[in-house]
Chains A and B, each alone.
Chain A
Amino acid sequence: MPAKGWIEVNELHCKGCELCVQACPQEVMSLDKTRLTPKGYHPVQLHAEGCTGCAICAVVCPEAALTVYRQIESRPVAAAA
């Protein structure tokens, strides 16, 4: 099962440049056209499930506006024995 992740967008910094939208390998990012940030840009959002927390969006983000989280998978303890 692929890892599950999600992003948090700092809307003060996001300028809606769409570099992360293009870079996302899962293609689950898009601009939220229904909202505006305090600076007047459409912020980026996750529009579907499938984020793996790979952080490629954060690597290409020029404004360091994204925080990326990933779910820690619980490992079976008995497997070592």
Chain B
Amino acid sequence: MINPLPNTHTQVVYQRPKSLTTAVTHYCPGCTHGVSQRLVAEVLDEMGLREKAIGVASVGCSVFAYNYFDVDFVEAAHGRAPAMATGIKRVFPDRTVFTYQGDGDLASIGMAEVMHAAARGENITIIFINNAIYGMTGGQMAPTTLPGMKTTSSPLGRDIEMTGMPIRMAELLSKMDGSSFVVRRSLHDATNIRKAKKAIRTAFEVQQQGLGFSLVELLSTCPTNWDLTPNEALSFVEEKMIPYFELGDYKVADAVKALKL
């Protein structure tokens, strides 16, 4: 390591956000789960919400989020995070309530909860990590697994004749009348990570203004279960996932546009 320059004035350009604890994560090296939770922590820091935020963790690799965020956190039953967040938000309307869910949790077992939360227009924020696989349980096929993609429960590749096509959650939720802000972003390079952070910030602003349901879908990697190196996994997101899960703003309600963020 090169020694810091002696006798010069320096500024800190980047440091670990205060809304993250010092705990070492259980994520595999190169997993972009860490990026998404770091972005949420940065936004909470910037908006001064650290003492006012309540997070709801889901089941999956995101299950230990309560150990990593230095904000109040609860753990919901599998898929039920939006229902729990609804209860918390209705009891504490002045708090910022968010859930942090993966695709196995939100798009599979938790489909009913998230659809009804959006239908009711609950004033909560959902951070949805889509890595097209069940990471924690050993790489089984998820509702978001791409056609032909090999997983431990589809060793010959996903057969769309038998299991259908992947579910595009952002498009689905954007059709609900109750949703206000539904976007999809990716975490495969620095530019897209910055765009993702801006979207997360807007989602929290939407909640603060009481404008209703906001969801940010983030395309993420799972190097271990995809059997790729971390950098190859980023290329997989760019070349294989983005053509199917197209990035974009799927629902931005007029009231959200009027915020001019």
Q: Mark A residues whose CB is within 8 Å of B.
A: 4-6, 9-10, 12-13, 15-19, 22-23, 32, 39, 41, 45-46, 48-49, 51, 53-56, 58-72, 74
Contacts and interface: CB of A to CB of B under 8 A. Distances in A.
A68 B12 contact: yes
Contacts of B137: none
Given A5-B13, A61-B38, A62-B32, 18 more contacts: A4-B5, A12-B22, A17-B29, A17-B230, A18-B229, A19-B231, A19-B234, A48-B2, A55-B14, A60-B190, A62-B38, A63-B24, A63-B27, A64-B17, A64-B20, A64-B34, A68-B13, A68-B15
Contacts of B33: 62
Q: Which 8 A-B pairs have the closest CB atoms?
A: A62-B34, A17-B30, A15-B29, A17-B29, A58-B14, A68-B14, A68-B13, A72-B9
Contacts of B16: 10, 64-65, 67
A45 B1 contact: yes
7 contacts: A6-B5, A10-B16, A17-B230, A49-B2, A51-B2, A60-B189, A68-B15
B11 A70 contact: yes
| Most chain A beta-carbon contacts within 10 A, residue among B5, B14, B28, B31 | B14
A64 B41 CA distance: 11
B193 interface: yes
A53 to B, nearest CB: 5
Contacts, number: 103
Interface of B: 1-2, 4-5, 8-17, 20, 22, 24-25, 27-35, 38, 41, 189-190, 193-194, 223, 229-231, 234
A69 B10 contact: yes
A9 B4 CA distance: 12
A56 to B, nearest CB: 5
B30 to A, nearest CB: 3
Given A19-B231, A62-B32, A55 B13 contact: yes
B2 A13 contact: no
Contact of B1 (A5, A46, A63): A46
Given A12-B24, A16-B29, A53-B13, A46 B34 contact: no
A60 B10 contact: no
Contacts of A53: 13
Contacts of B234: 19, 22
Nearest to A28: B2
A47 B30 CA distance: 21
A14 B33 CA distance: 15
A18 B30 contact: yes
Contact of A62 (B8, B31, B41): B31
A23 B5 contact: no
Contacts of B17: 64
Contacts of B4: 6, 69
